[in-house]
Each structure stands twice: as C-alpha cells, then as structure tokens.
Amino acid sequence: MKSIKKIFTLLLFVNLVGCASHSAMRGSVAMKTSNNEAHVCMGDTEVKVGDKVNAFKNVCINESTAPIKTSRSGIKTICKKEKIGTGIVTSLINNHYSVVKFDSEFDFNEGTVVEKQ
C-alpha cells in the first residue's frame, strides 16, 4: 500500500510540475525551426491561423540611479520590453502550440516573448 501511495504522489508531482512549467512558457518561442519560423507556446484557445503576432526581447540596464527593481547585490535595474519583429500564425499544432512565420529574419531564439497583436 505504501508503494502505491508513493507512486501516486510521484505522478501527481510530475503532473503539477509539468503544468506549472508549461504555463510559465505561455507566449514564448518553444522551438526555433528556421531563421524565420518557430513553434510558439500559444494554443488553439489563444490564437487562430492568420493571427498577427509581435516578438519582443527584454532589454535591461543596470544603473546606480535607477528607481525601479533592486537586486540582492544592491544594483538597480531598469527593464523594458522591446519589439524586435512581427509574424503570422501559419498553423495550429495542438491546444498548446502553434507555428509562427516571422515577416523577416531577426535575432530570436527559444524564450523570445510572443504576443498576439
């Protein structure tokens, strides 16, 4: 009986961790498939074929006079989201992922933020 409880607990833990990590990825490039195409963590409930999207990167600057975030080291950091390109949803893979073709080649990789326009 104890082994069944251990197995059930392990399966529950794996399921919760899997769901949590997937929700943290929402709206990001999961896999770069070419210089202008990627699998994006946006499913059929969020986008449809033909939807336009924007790609962003985070640009952070450390400044001693910055009034925003302060790290543990005491260095103040200002971060802003910078648009780096646009694209279109070309197909839906499943309820979690879609394929996005970007309008032009720009520097993106796994983790690049993607938002529906």
Domain ranges for the chain, please list them: 26-116
Report the half-sphere exposure of 108 (CA within 13 A, side-chain side): 34
More confident residue, 11 or 36: 36
Q: 3-state class of 72 per DSSP? A: coil
* pLDDT score of 28 more than 80: yes
pLDDT, tens only, 67-80: 555 556 666 778 89
Q: Among 3.40.710.10, 3.40.1190.10, 2.40.10.410, 3.40.50.300, name the CATH number for the domain at 26-116.
A: 2.40.10.410
pLDDT, tens only, 92-113: 999 999 999 999 888 999 999 9
Separation of alpha carbons 105 and 77, rounded Å: 29
